[in-house]
């Protein structure tokens, strides 16, 4: 029997509907959650992501600004902009779209964002809070979205063996921290694989839940999956396809056609984790507004 498809778009839509209650409550107190997105350069993928985030803010009733800067922008200029946004009371969340041009030190910029407005969860203060389970910390949107997708799709994590393929600070490491915590979407035994893992296939085949975020198109094949496992594909890669008008198709880090014959449930690409990432960015922005203006 083919795997059950986990629909991230449907779950994300339901969560955005739920979020309206919090947005209305803040509105009754004269607070409109505000998000500023900063885009440096003309990377097409980054521009698409920022546009999607702006559209999501419009649909949810959030205030948002998109600030576009030339790719020649200096680090000093970008840092000055971040400081201005830190001081702007209309803005509760700041998103600096990555990657940044090579003349800019990414970590220096991310660390300059106020921890209270760091809705991406990249500031060391929020990284620390997430690692110890402090609910005032901002959980990075993608791993937070994966956790919610599992919970709301009826996937039990307690007592399971979760294998994460990829150890990035954006997905892999915070994902492990969330899954280890006590509570819904936690209490798992977690193994993290990476480029130095020996015989990775033998490790991934032990997973009750396999989360793949390695950035390599169709890296995980059917034979790397334990029969009946839940597979969450975080990857988004362009693969050339002359048969399509746009000349390419989007694929994940998992070989979907093979995997769905083995897995018990699986997320598609697109339509799986992607919509959840944007949804959780909205949740973090509302959380930031609520913490800025406590009842």
Taking only the tens place, the pLDDT of each residue in 248-262 is: 888 999 999 999 999
Handedness of CA 87, 138, 278, 12 (dihedral sign): negative
The C-alpha atoms of residue 76 and residue 194 are separated, in whole angstroms, by 35
- Residue 272 scores a pLDDT above 80: yes
Give the pLDDT score at 112: 97
Annotated catalytic sites, by residue?
A: 53, 97, 120
CB 149 within 8 Å of CB 184: no
Give the pLDDT score at 36: 98
With tokens 């694929």, the residue in question is 251
pLDDT band at 290 (very low <50, low <70, confident <90, very high): very high
pTM for the whole thing?
Answer: 0.95
The C-alpha atoms of residue 149 and residue 9 are separated, in whole angstroms, by 10
Three-state DSSP at 63 gives strand
Q: From residue 213, how far is each of 127, 147, 210 by CA, in Å?
A: 19, 14, 10
Residue-averaged pLDDT of the chain: 95
What does the pLDDT average to over 276-289? 97
The C-alpha atoms of residue 266 and residue 7 are separated, in whole angstroms, by 9
pLDDT band at 70 (very low <50, low <70, confident <90, very high): very high
Q: Which residue has the higher pLDDT, 238 or 287?
A: 287
- Residue 90 scores a pLDDT above 80: yes
What does the pLDDT average to over 94-111? 96
Taking only the tens place, the pLDDT of each residue in 125-170 is: 999 999 999 999 999 999 999 999 999 999 999 999 999 999 999 9
Q: From residue 280, how far is each of 111, 250, 263, 294 by CA, in Å?
A: 21, 22, 26, 20
What stretches of the chain adopt beta strand conformation (E)?
A: 4-5, 34-40, 63-69, 93-96, 161-165, 189-193, 209-212, 230-233, 237-240, 248-251, 265-266
The C-alpha atoms of residue 19 and residue 28 are separated, in whole angstroms, by 15
The C-alpha atoms of residue 61 and residue 203 are separated, in whole angstroms, by 44
Give the pLDDT score at 116: 98
Q: From residue 164, how far is each of 7, 247, 261 by CA, in Å?
A: 20, 31, 20
Whole-number CA gyration radius for the chain = 19
Is 24 exposed, middle or buried, given 0-12, 13-18 or 19+ CB atoms closer than 10 A?
exposed
CB 284 within 8 Å of CB 292: no
Helices 141-152 and 273-292 meet at what angle, rounded to 10? 110
Taking only the tens place, the pLDDT of each residue in 223-233 is: 999 999 999 99
Give the pLDDT score at 172: 97
Give the pLDDT score at 232: 98
Give the pLDDT score at 7: 97
Q: CB-based contacts of 237: which residues, under 8 Å, 6+ apart?
A: 215, 216, 217, 218, 250, 251, 252, 253
Three-state DSSP at 197 gives coil
Q: By C-alpha distance, which of 18, 33, 6 is closest to 290? A: 33
Taking only the tens place, the pLDDT of each residue in 260-270 is: 999 999 999 99
Taking only the tens place, the pLDDT of each residue in 172-226 is: 999 999 999 999 999 999 999 999 999 999 999 999 999 999 999 999 999 999 9
- Domains of the chain with CATH codes: 30-115 (3.40.50.10860), 141-274 (3.40.50.720)
Give the pLDDT score at 159: 98
């Amino acid at each position: 029997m083919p795997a059950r498809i986990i629909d991230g778009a449907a779950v994300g839509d339901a969560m955005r509907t739920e979020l309206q209650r919090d947005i209305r409550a803040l509105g009754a107190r004269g607070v409109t959650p505000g998000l500023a997105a900063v885009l440096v350069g003309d990377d097409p993928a980054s521009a698409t992501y920022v546009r999607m985030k702006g559209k999501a803010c419009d649909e949810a009733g959030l205030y948002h600004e998109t600030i576009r800067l030339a790719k020649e922008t200096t680090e000093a200029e970008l840092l000055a902009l971040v400081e201005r946004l830190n001081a702007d009371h209309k803005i509760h969340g700041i998103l600096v779209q990555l990657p940044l041009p090579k003349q800019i030190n990414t970590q220096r910029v991310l660390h300059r964002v106020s921890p209270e407005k760091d809705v991406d969860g990249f500031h060391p203060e929020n990284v620390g809070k997430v690692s110890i389970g402090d609910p005032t910390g901002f959980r990075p949107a993608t791993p937070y979205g994966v956790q919610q997708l599992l919970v709301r799709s009826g996937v039990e994590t307690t007592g399971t063996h979760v294998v994460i393929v990829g150890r990035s600070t954006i997905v892999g490491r915070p994902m492990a921290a969330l899954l280890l915590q006590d509570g819904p979407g936690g209490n798992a035994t977690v193994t993290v694989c990476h480029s130095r893992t020996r015989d990775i296939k033998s490790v991934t085949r032990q997973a009750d839940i396999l989360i793949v975020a390695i950035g390599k198109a169709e890296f995980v094949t059917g034979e790397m999956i334990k029969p009946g496992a839940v597979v969450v594909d975080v990857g988004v890669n362009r693969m050339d396809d002359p048969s399509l008008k746009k000349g390419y198709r989007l694929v994940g880090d998992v070989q979907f056609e093979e995997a769905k014959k083995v897995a018990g449930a699986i997320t598609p690409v697109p339509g799986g984790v992607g919509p959840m990432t944007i949804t959780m960015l909205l949740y973090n922005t509302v959380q930031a507004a609520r913490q800025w203006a406590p009842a």
